Amino acid sequence: MNIKTNWISCFLGLGIALFSACKSDDREEEKITSEELNENALFTLMSADSTGVDFFNEVKNKPDFNIFRYRNFYNGGGVAIGDINNDGLPDIYFTGNMTSNKLYLNKGNFQFEDITESAGVAGNKPWSTGVNMVDINNDGLLDIYVSNAGNMEGDNHNNDLFINNGDLTFTEMAKEYNLAETGFSTHAAFFDYDKDGDLDAYILNNSNIPVSSLGYAEQRNVRAQDWEGVPKIFRGVGDMLLRNDDGKFTDVSEEANIYGSLIGFGLGVMVSDFNNDLYPDIYVSNDFYERDYLYINNQDGTFTEDIENWTSHLCLSAMGIDMADINNDGFADIFITDMLPDSEERVKSVMEFEGYNVFKLKQSKDFFQQYIHNTLQLNNGNNSFSEIAHF
């Protein structure tokens, strides 16, 4: 509905209301109070005072903390939920940007205790982003993996791995597992891509180069370490696929056909079996000019990136991603959010920030069809998706 239609609707609604009032002055207007709504609500908002969960990730521009130093300044943090002590109650870990990460132990009855310091999981890196609770060493206890974006001018942005000691304490061991990545990471996914019985990792990394440049279109197949003339401050690391070899993680990105270029700016990664061949595939949602990646598992330790054959168009500024079988047909569907305003006025005024000539040029440069709107990719079950967000 456009703005003009909104005004017409408001005027018609006002006219109907006035007419009704003239015809029935004694009618009482039916009102529903918030108390009545709460009586039938399925969820109730619980305060920090009642639960003990008082985490607050406030971000403020400062001389030493701003988007010029921290590329992911406005992206927010992450949250992971899992049972760290196997008592049947889900615990919560929050990552912070300008505040410390927090671990809350579930005591039952919606009561939580902040055990961050005693557990040793606060971390000492600025600008943590994604977080995973995952049993890395297969001992039956959930460990915590934290992605850190960090200051582009510093070196203190390697990722953290907190190994669960089984007594509500953790030991940081990212280097020992070869998981201390330094690529301005956004998130990670852990899954058994080669079906050898242990968990491998996909690390979603960013760089700090100006990614909104068509001049980088032909650099997709150039790995981050091979880019020439890129200052260290901008370099970063491309996405990585790490194979678990008896508890040590090995970078197999190149041999597995995973793009490791600096033009990728992934903000979301999800793993699912899109073609129901019982092997996990990977979807990466990329912001800025680069298109998304859809990696289909070849069942031999390699992947084929096949987004253009599976989809007709994508989000332009892809952000968060989630998957579910929305129509119960046995195939995984994909929902991806774009950087879309929530008001119609802003949609009309800032809907597009590039001209048609740039759009066509991007297509010719293999950036594919990208549009500013959320997408819902319905899996057709024949190695293709139909985008149905507006239907």
**Residue 6 has what pLDDT?**
38
Beta bridge partners of 298: none
Query: Using only C-alpha atoms, what is the Rg of the chain?
Result: 24
Q: Where are the domains of the chain?
A: 48-323
Among 2.60.40, 3.40.50, 2.40.128, 2.130.10, what is the CATH number of 48-323? 2.130.10
Q: Are 280 and 190 in contact (CB under 8 A)?
A: no
**Residue 98 has what pLDDT?**
80
**What is the number of other CB atoms lying within 10 angstroms of the CB of residue 191?**
17
**Residue 12 has what pLDDT?**
32
- Rounded Cα distance, 103 and 46, in Å: 18
301: phi > 0 → left, psi -120 to 50 → alpha, else beta; which?
left
pLDDT at 106 over 90: yes
pLDDT at 136 over 80: yes
Q: Are 75 and 186 in contact (CB under 8 A)?
A: yes
pTM for this prediction? 0.81
**Residue 3 has what pLDDT?**
37
- Rounded Cα distance, 20 and 23, in Å: 5
Least-confidence region, from 36-50, 176-190, 202-216: 202-216
Residue 135 CA neighbour count, 13 Å, CB half: 13
Residue 180 CA neighbour count, 13 Å, CB half: 13
Tokens of 275: 């073609």
**What is the number of other CB atoms lying within 10 angstroms of the CB of residue 278?**
9
Q: Taking residues 243-252, report their average pLDDT.
A: 95
- Rounded Cα distance, 185 and 95, in Å: 13
- Rounded Cα distance, 312 and 309, in Å: 8
Tokens of 348: 């009309």
**What is the number of other CB atoms lying within 10 angstroms of the CB of residue 248?**
12
pLDDT in tens, 304-351: 999 889 888 777 777 889 999 999 999 999 998 887 777 777 777 765
pLDDT at 13 over 50: no
Helix (H, G, I), strand (E, B) or coil at 4: helix
pLDDT in tens, 191-234: 999 999 999 999 998 776 665 555 666 666 676 666 666 766 66
